[in-house]
Amino acid sequence: MRISVVGLGYVGSVATAGLAQDGHQVVGIDTDWAKIEYYRAGQAPFYEPGLSELVEAGLQRGNIRFFHSSEVREPLGDIIVIATGTPPTQTGGADLTQVKSALQWVKEKQPEGGVIVMKSTVPPGTGVRLMDTLLSGTPFDYASNPEFLREGRAVKDWFEPDRVVIGASDERVAHTVKAMYERIQAPCVITDITSAELIKYAANAFLATKISFINEVAMLCEKLGATIDDVAKGIGLDPRIGPGFLRAGVGYGGSCFPKDVRALDDLALNNGHNFDLLRSVITINNRQRILPLYSLRQLFGRLSGVRVGVLGLAFKPHTDDVRESPSIDLIRLLVEEGAEVAAYDPVAARSAEGVLPGVVRLVADPLGCAEGAQALVLMVEWPQIVKADWGRMASVMQPPMFLFDGRNALNPADARACGFQYRGVGRDAARAAAPVHAGVRG
């Protein structure tokens, strides 16, 4: 099939390279020249394991090409995939400006029509509305085909999805879209457009709910002296619950969960429904990311002059994405309270530079973070952090050598054996750090 993909962010770039690998003739289009230059050189403009290799392979085979939207002179093909961004609006809804301008561009470029496949995450009801407005009276067919790719494993998720979801108003359109995935082995859910759109939001909201639920149980563990790791394992073994997304810690971040949970809440409200559960999910998540701050205040009193090392800046491991990252929020608060912060991330330092307060010292390795620090906060469970030489790190720190493990990624006994005052989330709270004087230096 001949396919154009409009919008080359995380979803669009993986779709372009994945569809080409699956044997289609694919054109990737964006309005950002810098991105186009990267892709033409066989590189992804952001960190995503395996993506550059996949782009390079497509360029070598000759079935993938990249164009700036102003350069496109040829037909867009049988299928036009829309994968532009839908950033949050001020009220928490989804801003459809980029989606609408992409559709307008497609209409002008190919007035004879084609099948539009919406991969951008748009609020339920959007597709039907677009067909009644912007696409009304045009020869375009429309399908919703939400994406479930996880950053950091998006390439693997593309080729081994749990399911393919297609929402269309008629079966012929749904089957044209399904043909795009001929080589993918996965159950296919074919439904109407609005249901497909809601599947995407409900999936992300449910996963976010699981995380906030386990974080709430972790708080209870602290009160009761129970251990969240064992509790999560014990409940996750029930196949009706499942073990995924039961890792307690500083909560979810990224460009998807926070935005999509808020957007679903906003959508519900606009349709006359109070989705109370989602409000709690958001409140709990906002609280989780500042738990390390509470612990540090408890321990040091005032944080002015306290030297804190923050390990990890991305919103999770294996990505350089710092959008809605709990670590960035925490650092801003620490700096506001006068702490002296050093921070480390194996790949996200460059993307964090633009959003971090200027006084934060970015260091090259976990040891640099520990040097002279009185406290360390582990915010991202990168292997480079979890497998660091913690004994050596402890040896270059100053008392009280406090370690807040915001992802429950370390073995508490091992950390204590290194000399740390260890504190996890929902783990062994009885042994939580004892207060010391404000701003003590060793």
Provide the annotated active-site residues. Answer: 256
By the rule CB under 6 A, 245 interacts with ligand UGA? yes
- How far from 401 is each of 268, 300, 398, 433, 440, CA to CA, in Å? 46, 12, 6, 10, 11
Report the candidate in 441, 389, 399 with the shortest Cα–Cα distance to residue 420.
399
Query: Phi-psi region for residue 24, left (φ > 0), alpha (ψ -120 to 50) or beta?
Result: beta
CB of 51 to ligand UGA, least distance (A): 13
Measured at the alpha carbon of residue 427, what is the angle toward residues 424 and 429, in degrees to the nearest 5?
90
CB of 149 to ligand UGA, least distance (A): 5
Q: For ligand UGA, which is the closer residue by CB, 151 or 229?
A: 151
Q: Which of 38, 47, 315, 422 binds ligand UGA (CB under 6 A)?
A: 315
Q: Burial of 40 by CB count in 10 Å (0-12 exposed, 13-18 middle, 19+ buried)?
A: middle
By the rule CB under 6 A, 247 interacts with ligand UGA? yes
Determine the residue type at 118. M
- For the chain, the residue count is 442
Q: For ligand UGA, which is the closer residue by CB, 159 or 245?
A: 245
By the rule CB under 6 A, 150 interacts with ligand UGA? yes
By the rule CB under 6 A, 254 interacts with ligand UGA? yes
Token representation of residue 232 = 């999560």
Q: Which of 147, 265, 266, 345 binds ligand UGA (CB under 6 A)?
A: 147
By the rule CB under 6 A, 287 interacts with ligand UGA? no
Range in contact with ligand UGA (rule: CB under 6 A) among 250-258, 267-275, 343-351, 428-436: 250-258
Q: For ligand UGA, which is the closer residue by CB, 58 or 251?
A: 251
* Residue 413 DSSP symbol: H
Range in contact with ligand UGA (rule: CB under 6 A) among 177-185, 239-247, 291-299, 422-430: 239-247
Q: Which of 21, 84, 98, 204 binds ligand UGA (CB under 6 A)?
A: 204
d(CA 11, CA 150): 9
Range in contact with ligand UGA (rule: CB under 6 A) among 179-187, 244-252, 291-299, 414-422: 244-252
- How far from 403 is each of 254, 310, 369, 374, 415, CA to CA, in Å? 24, 10, 12, 9, 8
Q: Burial of 112 by CB count in 10 Å (0-12 exposed, 13-18 middle, 19+ buried)?
A: exposed
Q: Which of 257, 300, 344, 382 binds ligand UGA (CB under 6 A)?
A: 257
| Contact residues for ligand UGA, defined by CB under 6 A | 121, 147-151, 204, 207, 211, 245-247, 249, 251-254, 256-257, 315-316
